[in-house]
């Protein structure tokens, strides 16, 4: 009785936080939805988001595949390289990198390496570093997943290719990538959508990027990294509820359309029609007449699409977005043909070495920066010779302990409830073959972002739940449960049913449940830790839903020390000291996970 | 029965919730200790919540959400206009300076009890600056030494310091001669000094380390400078030769506002306390803030550094209290960020600013 009830609660929870706000918002936003869609701000931001998403996703998938392939036999080195970007929360790494890149008036660790560092006024530097950091932080997850997929390729296939005389690069491009194509496609979709509404890095690192004259709109100046996430946050901060709901609904629909196109990519008719509709929608948003041509081209046979898209992309000065999408869909929807690399094959090793060095450098810069800002006494100057522990004392005197306690209050319900909700749901999905449900949850989670949080804010405001920690825990639980379900489902898939059947015969349903529960104890513990980390590192929801300093968790407190890019007086030393304390907790949890994983083995 | 009722009433009286006061900016601990004294004297319990930044946004959020609304909140005068609809009009306490009252008055309503003011646009110096009476002199003297002159020309809050020297009134509009001339002046400065700071922190850092000889910034830095123990001075407000006038610093007033429906007897007593000579002298003296209470100001005027600050106060003007001031700052910010990026046509910059100003 309890298990179905818990499953029902977790499904309701996910739907309540990921789908209901959109329906609620759509019903209330009315003509504000249309004014948002037709605004110049939305048009520019959607354009930037798509370009940003396409570029970052393509690079991320390519680099991750390459890294997984190059280091598949050097796993310890791989784990070492991806440890820092994996272990440190994104909001923290981003602020650390802001110091590393921009430092003091552009005089920084990065500028001392002769690299562009002026993220305040150089559009290239702003876009470049936001992109580099995004890819670097997402590498661990994608690389590990691709590594898993590569492990599944039969070694005979690769050996056969080598015997046929294929070079290392040809084996990578012609054997490995086509063999893991379905994994790459899934990640491609996930990250396309995630990047299109990404917020933390574009906002915290470059404050939406650098603007230009014709990007100034009545909704403020749009910078070259003002993704839909950043735009929605600005609207949330500055405008009334109608505008907030209008923009967030428009964003939800836009992202939903992206997913629809992708899902239908292998059903030719649906794909053509949805691409055509998307191009026309794009014309309505941007007034880009090339989109009409794209709408027509998308209906033509596949073999015409690539040539015509490239041609019109050239004519449009590489500015018409639908052609990029047509090319991507074209690339993913047909057969992948073998390529010939010849002497270029020799480049594989130097490229690999360069990538590994850059990854290692990224970790060194992160650690060096956080140590420098944490143990430097001056709030505004970097004085290496005068390092001390004064900042650690100052941050504790400033009441950081209370912020840690708030983080704990926020995390503990997530720690307890995530596995309780996830376990019965994962079990049902595994045993009843309800994979579609899991996919739906993951899609809903992927579409969610700042825009959903804006909608939840309006709902919470009506329910008088703003400025309180527990309602934020509920948001975090709705985020983390699908992840924990994926993790636990994998375990149940690999567990023989016979054990439960035997228990069922012996002692009925309760005995069978008891067996399942007992066997899944390590998974429950890891699920609880995943929940704890999600709660401890929660940043966006507390940032938007709390306004009382005494309720801030560590994440928002750390942000309040340094503020945004143009903040006149950031306290880097307090930030650094707080970050060190936060990392100590993260390390503790990592060690716990490591120990539990040991139990799993 | 009567006794029970009396007993219950007495119990309820003792169970009165404390006043919630939001406090921001410098002096949190000092403020808390002074509030403790107030509680001891009056028996009114006060809970001080420190809100580190964007207090106006958070107040609006609390108001929209109808949750966690404070009784009184310390606001800047340029924030109250935006909050016109949610603040109680107040009656001014006695002995407050006229300038401070006008700084918080919107549409004839006083929206906060003035407490103190910070000055934006103070010229600090280290060592000696011979014959430097104008900004042009400073540029000429220091432009060849990297990071020696730190004028935050890209800081939106300092635009008006120059704009008023060129004759801008307190209205918020951009298409006028003073805006045009200010932009031309800043573009000139940008060309003359290639190392101009793009953010405040580096400017302060260079000054603290002694690299910068002159720093234009806010008076709130004085306690930090004193804490670091280095010698520094405050210049007389310099001239802008092109304008033929001195700079006109921003008078950044802070005062306690009361949220609609919260003006109780206890809140009134609290407001009386924070506008008193005793409170303002104790609070402003160590923090180098200029009190709004004229008697407190008279007490502090002879103290070191206060004399120089009062001269700045004399030439300065309050930051705009207009309900659209936020949009106005956003417009200025847009113009300055475009200028930083290399757009050096004042007309085009003004058009961009106007687009933001006329936004929804």
Domain shared by B124 and B109, yes or no: no
Is the alpha carbon torsion for B262, B268, B270, B271 positive or negative?
positive
CA distances from A171 to A121, A160, A167, A347 (A): 43, 10, 6, 14
Q: pLDDT band for A407, please (50, 70, 90 cuts).
A: very high
Side-chain-facing half-sphere of A149: CA atoms under 13 Å: 24
Residue bearing the bigger pLDDT, A457 or A502? A457
Residues of chain B contacting A550 with CB distance shorter than 8 Å: 49-50
Residue-wise pLDDT for B85-122, tens only, equals: 999 999 988 899 999 999 999 989 999 999 999 999 99
ipTM exceeding the 0.95 mark: no
Q: Looking at chain B from residue 142 to 171, which residues have their Cβ under 8 Å from any Cβ of chain A?
A: 147, 152, 155
- Mutant choice from A208, A548, A557, A572 vs B, greatest count of B C-beta within 10 A: A548
Contacting residues for A142 by C-beta, under 8 A, at least 6 apart = A60, A61, A64, A187, A191
The pLDDT value recorded for residue A386 is 66
Cα A515 to the center of its chain, rounded Å: 36
The pLDDT value recorded for residue B57 is 82
Cβ neighbour number for residue B154 with a 10 Å cutoff: 23
Q: Out of B208, B337, B356, name the one closest to residue A381 (CB).
A: B208
Residue-wise pLDDT for B41-89, tens only, equals: 999 999 998 887 788 888 887 887 677 789 999 999 999 998 999 999 9
Residue A195: phi and psi, rounded to 5, are -70, -35
> Which SS3 state, helix, strand or coil, does residue A338 take?
coil
Most confident of A92-101, A265-274, A490-499: A92-101
Domain shared by B85 and B210, yes or no: no
Q: Which of A224-228, A563-567, B281-285 has the lowest mean pLDDT?
A: A563-567
Whether residues B201 and A121 touch (CB distance < 8 A) is answered with: no
Mean pLDDT of the A53-82 span: 86
Got the DSSP string for A220-282? Answer: EEEETT--HHHHHHHHHHHS-HHHHHHHHHHHHHHHHHHHHHHHGGGSHHHHHHHHHHHHHHH
CATH of the domain at B133: 3.40.190.10
Domain shared by B287 and B213, yes or no: no
Query: Do β-strands B290-291 and B245-246 pair in parallel, antiparallel, or remain unpaired?
Result: unpaired
Domain shared by B208 and B344, yes or no: yes
The pLDDT value recorded for residue A521 is 82
Asked if residues A355 and A69 have their Cβ atoms less than 8 Å apart, the reply is no
Asked if residues B216 and B122 have their Cβ atoms less than 8 Å apart, the reply is yes
Residues of chain B contacting A471 with CB distance shorter than 8 Å: none
pLDDT of A326 over the 90 cut: no
- Mutant choice from A99, A210, A213 vs B, greatest count of B C-beta within 10 A: A213
Q: Out of A378, A548, A569, name the one closest to residue B200 (CB).
A: A569
Domain shared by B166 and B276, yes or no: no
Residue bearing the bigger pLDDT, A514 or A127? A127
Mean pLDDT of the A409-424 span: 93
Q: Which of A431-435, A514-518, B80-84 has the lowest mean pLDDT?
A: A514-518
Domain shared by B334 and B221, yes or no: yes
The pLDDT value recorded for residue A413 is 95
- Per domain, the residue ranges of chain A are 2-32+395-600, 39-226+341-387
- For residue A462, which of B56, B60, B64, B86 has the smallest C-alpha distance? B64
Residues of chain A contacting B120 with CB distance shorter than 8 Å: none
Chain B within 8 Å of A573 (Cβ-Cβ)?
Answer: no
Domain shared by B268 and B243, yes or no: no
pLDDT of A163 over the 70 cut: yes
Side-chain-facing half-sphere of A292: CA atoms under 13 Å: 4
- For residue B14, which of B22, B6, B3 has the smallest C-alpha distance? B6
Q: Looking at chain A from residue 368 to 397, which residues have their Cβ under 8 Å from any Cβ of chain B?
A: 378-381
Q: Taking CA atoms, what residue in B is nearest to A569?
A: B201
pLDDT of B309 over the 80 cut: yes
Rounded mean pLDDT of chain A? Answer: 84
Q: pLDDT band for B345, please (50, 70, 90 cuts).
A: very high
Domain shared by B13 and B104, yes or no: yes
- Mutant choice from A211, A381, A454, A562 vs B, greatest count of B C-beta within 10 A: A381
Mean pLDDT of the A114-135 span: 93
pLDDT of B256 over the 90 cut: yes
Alpha carbon distance A32, A238 (integer Å): 15
Q: pLDDT band for B7, please (50, 70, 90 cuts).
A: low
Domain shared by B242 and B159, yes or no: yes
> What is the total count of domains within chain B?
2
Q: Looking at chain A from residue 501 to 560, which residues have their Cβ under 8 Å from any Cβ of chain B?
A: 547-550, 560
| B342 class by beta-carbon count within 10 Å (0-12 exposed, 13-18 middle, 19+ buried) | exposed
Mean pLDDT of the A138-152 span: 88
For B260-278, give one letter per residue: b (16+ CB within 10 A) or e: eebbeebbeebbebbbbbe
- The shortest C-alpha distance from A580 to chain B (Å) reads 21
> Which SS3 state, helix, strand or coil, does residue B259 take?
strand
Mean pLDDT of the A505-521 span: 75
CA distances from B10 to A559, B45, B78 (A): 45, 17, 43
Residues of chain A contacting B204 with CB distance shorter than 8 Å: 380, 569
Cβ neighbour number for residue A43 with a 10 Å cutoff: 19
Asked if residues B312 and B288 have their Cβ atoms less than 8 Å apart, the reply is no
Residue bearing the bigger pLDDT, A196 or A7? A196
Q: For A39-226+341-387, which CATH class?
A: mainly alpha
Residue-wise pLDDT for B145-160, tens only, equals: 888 999 999 888 899 9
- The shortest C-alpha distance from A183 to chain B (Å) reads 42
Please report how the helices A40-70 and A228-238 are oriented relative to each other, as an axis angle in degrees rounded to 10: 140
Q: Looking at chain A from residue 219 to 248, which residues have their Cβ under 8 Å from any Cβ of chain B?
A: 219-221, 237, 239, 241, 243
The token pair that represents B147 in the structure block:
């990071």
pLDDT of A387 over the 90 cut: no
- Mutant choice from B203, B215, B337 vs A, greatest count of A C-beta within 10 A: B337
Mean pLDDT of the A99-127 span: 86
Mean pLDDT of the B231-258 span: 95
Residues of chain B contacting A378 with CB distance shorter than 8 Å: 205, 208
Cα A385 to the center of its chain, rounded Å: 38
DSSP 8-state assignment for residue A103: T
Q: Which domain holds residue B332?
A: 119-250+322-357
Whether residues A466 and B201 touch (CB distance < 8 A) is answered with: no
Residues of chain B contacting A377 with CB distance shorter than 8 Å: none
Residue B151: phi and psi, rounded to 5, are -110, 115
Q: Taking CA atoms, what residue in B is nearest to A543?
A: B58
- The shortest C-alpha distance from A575 to chain B (Å) reads 14
Strand ranges in chain B using DSSP code E only, listed in sequence order: 19-23, 46-50, 72-76, 105-106, 109-110, 113-125, 149-150, 214-218, 233-234, 239-240, 245-246, 250-258, 290-291, 317-318
> Which SS3 state, helix, strand or coil, does residue B191 take?
helix
Domain shared by B123 and B112, yes or no: no
Site of tokens 């999600």:
A534
How many helices (H) and strands (E) are present in chain A, helices listed first? 30, 2
Mean pLDDT of the B179-199 span: 90
Whether residues B352 and A221 touch (CB distance < 8 A) is answered with: yes
pLDDT of A380 over the 50 cut: no
Q: pLDDT band for A282, please (50, 70, 90 cuts).
A: confident
Residue-wise pLDDT for A8-50, tens only, equals: 888 888 888 888 888 888 888 778 888 888 888 998 999 899 8
Q: Model pTM?
A: 0.84
Mean pLDDT of the A562-568 span: 78
pLDDT of B248 over the 70 cut: yes
In 3-state terms chain A splits into helix, strand, coil percentages (rounded to 5) of 80, 0, 20
Q: Taking CA atoms, what residue in A is nearest to B51?
A: A549
Q: Taking CA atoms, what residue in A is nearest to B63?
A: A461
Q: Which of A506-515, B63-72, B231-240 has the lowest mean pLDDT?
A: A506-515
Q: Out of B51, B58, B198, name the one closest to residue A121 (CB).
A: B198
Chain A within 8 Å of B343 (Cβ-Cβ)?
Answer: yes
Counting other chains too, the contacts that B169-175 makes at CB distance below 8 Å and 24 or more residues apart are: B170/B317, B170/B318, B170/B320, B170/B322, B171/B322, B172/B320, B172/B322, B172/B324, B172/B325, B172/B327, B172/B328, B172/B357, B173/B357, B174/B331, B174/B335, B174/B350, B174/B353, B174/B354, B174/B357, B175/B350, B175/B354
> Which SS3 state, helix, strand or coil, does residue B58 take?
helix
Q: pLDDT band for B343, please (50, 70, 90 cuts).
A: very high
Alpha carbon distance A51, B10 (integer Å): 68
The pLDDT value recorded for residue A512 is 72
Whether residues A221 and B338 touch (CB distance < 8 A) is answered with: yes
Question: How many A-B residue pairs are in contact by the CB < 8 A criterion?
Answer: 131
Please report how the helices A90-102 and A123-151 are oriented relative to each other, as an axis angle in degrees rounded to 10: 140
Q: Out of B57, B155, B206, name the one closest to residue A568 (CB).
A: B155
**Does the structural domain A2-32+395-600 have CATH classification 1.10.3470.10?**
no
Residue bearing the bigger pLDDT, A82 or B260? B260
Site of tokens 């026309």:
A280
pLDDT of A504 over the 80 cut: no
Q: pLDDT band for A600, please (50, 70, 90 cuts).
A: very low
Whether residues A548 and B343 touch (CB distance < 8 A) is answered with: no
The pLDDT value recorded for residue B8 is 59
The pLDDT value recorded for residue A223 is 94
């Amino acid at each position: 009785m309890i298990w179905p009830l818990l499953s029902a609660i977790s499904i309701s929870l996910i739907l309540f936080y990921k789908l209901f706000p959109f329906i609620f918002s759509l019903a209330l936003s009315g003509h504000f939805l249309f004014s948002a869609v037709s605004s110049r701000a939305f048009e520019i931001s959607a354009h930037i988001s798509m370009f940003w998403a396409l570029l970052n996703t393509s690079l991320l998938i390519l680099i991750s595949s390459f890294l997984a392939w190059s280091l598949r036999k050097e796993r310890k080195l791989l784990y070492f390289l991806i440890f820092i970007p994996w272990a440190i929360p994104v909001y923290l790494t981003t602020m650390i990198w802001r110091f590393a890149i921009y430092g003091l008036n552009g005089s920084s660790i990065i500028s001392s390496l002769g690299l562009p560092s002026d993220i305040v006024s150089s559009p290239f530097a702003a876009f470049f570093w936001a992109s580099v950091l995004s890819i670097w932080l997402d590498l661990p997850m994608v690389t590990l997943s691709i590594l898993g997929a590569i492990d599944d390729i039969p070694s005979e296939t690769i050996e056969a290719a080598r015997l046929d005389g294929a070079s290392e690069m040809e084996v990578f491009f012609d054997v490995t990538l086509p063999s893991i194509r379905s994994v790459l496609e899934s990640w491609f979709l996930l990250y396309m959508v995630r990047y299109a509404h990404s917020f933390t890095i574009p906002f915290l690192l470059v404050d939406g990027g650098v603007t230009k004259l014709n990007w100034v709109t009545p909704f403020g100046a749009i910078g070259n990294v003002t993704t839909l996430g950043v735009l929605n946050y600005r609207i949330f901060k500055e405008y009334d509820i109608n505008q907030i709901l209008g923009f967030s609904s428009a964003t939800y629909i836009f992202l939903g359309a992206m997913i629809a196109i992708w899902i239908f990519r292998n059903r030719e008719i649906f794909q053509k029609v949805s691409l055509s509709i998307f191009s026309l929608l794009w014309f309505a948003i941007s007034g880009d007449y090339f989109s009409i041509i794209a709408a027509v081209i998308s209906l033509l046979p596949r073999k015409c699409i690539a040539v015509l898209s490239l041609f019109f992309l050239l004519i449009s000065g590489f500015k018409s977005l639908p052609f990029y999408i047509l090319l991507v869909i074209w690339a993913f929807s047909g057969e992948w043909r073998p390529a010939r690399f010849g002497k270029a094959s020799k480049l594989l090793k130097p490229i690999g070495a360069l990538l590994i060095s850059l990854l290692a450098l990224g970790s060194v810069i992160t650690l060096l920066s956080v140590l420098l800002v944490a143990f430097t006494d001056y709030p505004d100057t970097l004085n290496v010779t005068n390092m001390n522990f004064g900042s650690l004392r100052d941050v504790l005197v400033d009441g950081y302990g209370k912020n840690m306690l708030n983080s704990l209050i926020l995390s503990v319900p997530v720690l307890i409830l995530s596995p309780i909700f996830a376990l019965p749901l994962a079990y049902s999905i595994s045993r009843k073959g309800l994979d579609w449900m899991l996919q739906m949850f993951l899609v809903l989670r992927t579409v969610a972002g700042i825009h959903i949080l804006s909608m939840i804010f309006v709902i919470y405001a009506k329910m008088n739940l703003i400025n309180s920690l527990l309602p934020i825990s509920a948001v975090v639980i709705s985020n983390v449960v699908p992840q924990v379900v994926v993790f636990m489902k994998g375990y149940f898939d690999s567990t023989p049913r016979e054990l439960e059947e035997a228990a069922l015969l012996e002692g009925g349903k309760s005995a069978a449940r008891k067996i399942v529960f007992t066997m899944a104890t390590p998974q429950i513990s890891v699920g609880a830790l995943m929940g704890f980390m999600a709660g401890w590192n929660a940043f966006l929801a507390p940032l938007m839903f709390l306004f009382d300093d005494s309720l801030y968790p560590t994440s928002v407190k750390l942000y309040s020390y340094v503020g945004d890019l143009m903040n006149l007086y950031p306290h880097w030393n307090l930030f650094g000291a707080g970050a060190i304390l936060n990392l100590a907790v993260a390390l503790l949890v990592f060690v716990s996970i490591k120990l539990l994983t040991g139990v799993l083995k | 029965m009567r006794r029970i009722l009396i007993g219950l009433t007495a119990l309820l009286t003792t169970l009165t919730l404390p006043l919630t006061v939001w406090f921001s900016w410098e002096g949190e601990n000092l403020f808390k200790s002074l509030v403790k004294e107030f509680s001891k004297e009056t028996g009114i319990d006060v809970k001080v919540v420190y809100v580190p930044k964007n207090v106006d946004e958070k107040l609006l959020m609390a108001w929209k959400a109808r949750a966690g609304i404070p009784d009184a909140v310390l606001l800047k005068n340029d924030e109250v206009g935006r909050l016109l609809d949610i603040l109680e009009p107040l009656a001014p306490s006695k002995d407050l300076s006229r300038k401070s009252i006008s700084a918080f008055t919107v549409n004839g309503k006083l929206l906060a009890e003035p407490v103190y003011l910070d000055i934006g646009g103070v010229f600090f110096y280290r060592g000696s600056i011979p014959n430097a009476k104008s900004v042009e002199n400073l540029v000429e003297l220091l432009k060849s030494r990297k990071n020696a002159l730190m004028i935050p020309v890209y800081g939106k809050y300092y635009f008006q310091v120059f704009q008023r020297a060129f004759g801008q009134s307190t209205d918020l509009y951009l298409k006028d001669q003073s805006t045009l001339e200010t932009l031309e002046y800043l573009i000139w400065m940008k060309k003359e000094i290639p190392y101009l700071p793009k953010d405040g922190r580096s400017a302060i850092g260079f000054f603290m380390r002694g690299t910068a000889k002159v720093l234009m910034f806010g008076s709130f830095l004085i306690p930090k400078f004193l804490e670091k123990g280095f010698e520094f001075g405050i210049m007389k407000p310099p001239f802008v030769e092109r304008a033929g006038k001195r700079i006109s610093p921003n008078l950044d007033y802070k005062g306690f506002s009361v949220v609609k429906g919260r003006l109780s007897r206890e809140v009134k007593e609290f407001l009386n306390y924070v506008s008193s000579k005793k409170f303002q002298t104790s609070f402003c003296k160590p923090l180098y803030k200029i009190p709004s209470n004229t008697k407190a100001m008279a007490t502090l005027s002879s103290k070191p550094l206060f004399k120089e600050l009062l001269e700045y106060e004399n030439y300065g003007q309050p930051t705009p209290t207009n309900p659209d001031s936020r949009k106005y700052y956003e417009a200025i910010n847009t113009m300055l960020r475009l200028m930083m990026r290399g757009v050096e046509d004042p007309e085009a910059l003004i058009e961009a600013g106007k687009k933001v100003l006329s936004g929804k």
